[in-house]
Structure 1
């Protein structure tokens, strides 16, 4: 299950994770972002325990969106050891996402 988290700092969240973190940068008004929600659930299920999925509302955290140069929504960024390792813009199927992410996990 993707968690909508309140956190003291994004850096803490990344640092505390013992596995890669897939961050879904989204906005509530973004249609394609809504389409990604069930897809991310599937990816999370298929890659159970191999990564952590976190959703970040770019309207709530605009400083994070600009820090990671998020220009298109949805944008998924996979962080490994706190660093961006993979960036995926736009809607993908669960199969495509699993294929893209698996080599990095």
Structure 2
């Protein structure tokens, strides 16, 4: 299962009004570490479809949201729950480290 893309036009519906936690992967096509973390996030999504939703947001195509959420380096991941940012993860990490950071949502 590949993470679905979100954008400024679908943000409210996809993220802020979502039922349950949503991990947003802020990324860009030119970012090597972003390409490394993407399949790991896809795997976490596939293994936990009822626990967390993983979405991707291209910061080059949606600079308004990158600015709003103060994304200064990528990859950056934020977990939203009930429209609020609950967790922020910066940088590419191996699967076990990401699962550790997301343990509260994957339990």
The two structures share one fold, judged by TM-score above 0.5: yes
CA positional deviation for 1:8? 2.5
**Length-normalised TM-score, structure 1:** 0.90
Task: State how 1:1-105 maps to structure 2 within 5 Å.
Answer: 1-6=2-7, 8-104=9-105
Q: CA-to-partner distance for each residue in 1:45-90, whole Å, 9 max, x for gaps?
A: 2322101110000000001000000001000000010100000000
Kindly report structure 1 stretches of 4+ aligned residues shifted beyond 3 Å: none
**Length-normalised TM-score, structure 2:** 0.89
Query: Contact 1:7–1:13 (CA<8 Å) still a contact in 2?
Result: no
Unmatched tracts of structure 2, length 5 or more: none
Query: Contact 2:7–2:62 (CA<8 Å) still a contact in 1?
Result: no
Quote the RMSD (CA, aligned, Å). 1.6
CA positional deviation for 1:9? 3.9
- Secondary structure of the residue aligned to 1:25 is strand
CA positional deviation for 1:101? 0.9
Aligned length: 105
